[in-house]
Amino acid sequence: MVHGGTPLRGEIAVAGAKNVALKAFASAILTDEEVVIHNVPLIADVHCMLDVLTSLGIKVDINGHTVRIQSKSLKSTTVPLDVGARLRTSSLVAGPLLARYGAARIPNPGGCRIGARPIDRHIRGLAEMGAEISYHPDDGYFYLRADTLHGAGFEFEKNTHTGTEALILAAVLAEGETVLKNAAAEVEVDDLISLLTGMGATIKRTKEREIVIYGVKKLHGVEYSLMPDRNEEVTFALAAAVTSGDVLVHHSRRAHLGAFLEAFSSAGGQYEAVDASTTRYRQIGPIKPTDIVTLPHPGFMTDWQAPWALYMTQANGISTMHETVFESRFSYVSELRKMGAQIEYYDPPVKNPEIYYNFNWSDRRSGYHQGIRITGPTPLHDAVVEIDDLRAGATVLLAALTAGGTSYIHGVEQIDRGYENIEERLRKLGARIERKKEDEI
């Protein structure tokens, strides 16, 4: 239950990056020595990924925001269906299991319903490295075997964050040199590379989108602190702006937010560098309309487009959003419409969509659109809304904070997948939020 209309003011700290934590856990399989990860966000997806490790017999200990992992207790190379199918990144254990144990059996992974998100891009890469792979539709499992993984040259057809990390995790113990071309440039990939380098891996970015991995015989344990989550920082920045608030964000990494900060400034948002790791966010004056195209890093992230669309409902004029990374990421539109937003779908003119879009064009469903037009400013009102993916959940929550009246948000477990104790942290900024079970409402 969200009682809206209160400007958010105060200070908040960004948690550790979810999109590094999950991959860092998979890296612990690469050594028998203890891997200690600090600044771990205590969110649902983190617990799901740790469940994947414990299902293999790996020892996991959580103490506050520190996780200790010791894989020498591993007893199985099969991820149970009910565990692995809950999370897309469960597939990332395949490379480390192959590299160390020569076998892996993983279920077709799940996660947010924001598109097909196929893992075929890194499955093909593992095959190039010597793995024998088959998919059994009768049980939903990928079966992988490899006597030895060897280095390979592999060029990704499309930008793939997870695919790049999957092949890095496999290549660090493979024989010889692996060259990944058109590799993802996201800063989270670089954070994973830093962790693996601390374990004794040899990995270099030789060009803008080229990564070379020189396989080593053995990796050792490491103690590592995760980078802050830039998606959280954007969420808090937009929460301040759209509620006419004023928020200081600690553990800020402005260097990771170039495309966002440029767009934020063009919309009239203000950010101030208080110190090296603290940024002040607010909105002074009217919000200006923008035209945004989502792109792989260093472009405007697809994870930012949903809360940005909410921001634009309060802009003076017509804004557009063109989603190029996923074929289905506008689930929040119907919920914002319930709250009074004026948003319509449209089809941006694109030549050669098979090449232009980052997803597999063949996965796109008939009737889906890649663009929306947002007319503002529109006062938002209370509503009963539902959410079915993480970023849509954060967006609807911000909308409810902006709207008048009391809104009811169902499906908040999606928000819990990426934000730790979100209602408690926002309450410290003045938000009026209550969490209740369905039967208590």
pLDDT for the residue numbered 137: 86
In this structure, the answer to whether residues 200 and 278 fall within a common structural domain is: no
In this structure, the answer to whether residues 261 and 372 fall within a common structural domain is: yes
Interior angle at CA 106, CA 225 and CA 165, nearest 5: 40
Residues contacting residue 31 through CB under 8 Å, at least 6 positions apart: 71, 199, 218, 219, 220, 221
pLDDT for the residue numbered 441: 67
Q: What is the CATH number of the domain that holds 420?
A: 3.65.10.10
Give the end of a domain, one of 225, 260, 286: 225
In this structure, the answer to whether residues 42 and 102 fall within a common structural domain is: yes
111 pLDDT more than 70:
no
User: Pick the catalytic residue: 30, 93, 97, 112?
Assistant: 112
* Token reading at 403: 């709207």
In this structure, the answer to whether residues 47 and 138 fall within a common structural domain is: yes
In this structure, the answer to whether residues 344 and 426 fall within a common structural domain is: yes
Give the end of a domain, one of 225, 252, 278: 225
Does this model's pTM top 0.75?
A: yes
* Token reading at 237: 């920045």
In this structure, the answer to whether residues 204 and 251 fall within a common structural domain is: no
pLDDT one-digit tens code per residue, 302-313: 999 999 999 999
> Which residue, among 75, 74, 91, has the nearest Cα to 22 in the 3D structure?
91
pLDDT one-digit tens code per residue, 370-403: 999 999 999 999 999 998 887 788 999 999 999 9
Give the end of a domain, one of 167, 202, 225: 225
**Residue 49 CB-density burial (10 A; 0-12 exposed, 13-18 middle, 19+ buried):** buried
In this structure, the answer to whether residues 186 and 275 fall within a common structural domain is: no
In this structure, the answer to whether residues 363 and 411 fall within a common structural domain is: yes
Residues contacting residue 252 through CB under 8 Å, at least 6 positions apart: 14, 228, 233, 277, 278, 279
> Which residue, among 18, 303, 401, 356, has the nearest Cα to 188 in the 3D structure?
18
In this structure, the answer to whether residues 188 and 248 fall within a common structural domain is: no
74 forms bridges with which residues in the sheet?
A: none
pLDDT one-digit tens code per residue, 323-359: 999 888 898 999 999 999 999 999 999 999 999 999 8
In this structure, the answer to whether residues 413 and 332 fall within a common structural domain is: yes
* Residue 104 structural domain: 18-225
In this structure, the answer to whether residues 419 and 271 fall within a common structural domain is: yes
pLDDT for the residue numbered 118: 58
* Residue 112 designated active-site: yes
Domain count, the chain: 2
In this structure, the answer to whether residues 391 and 413 fall within a common structural domain is: yes
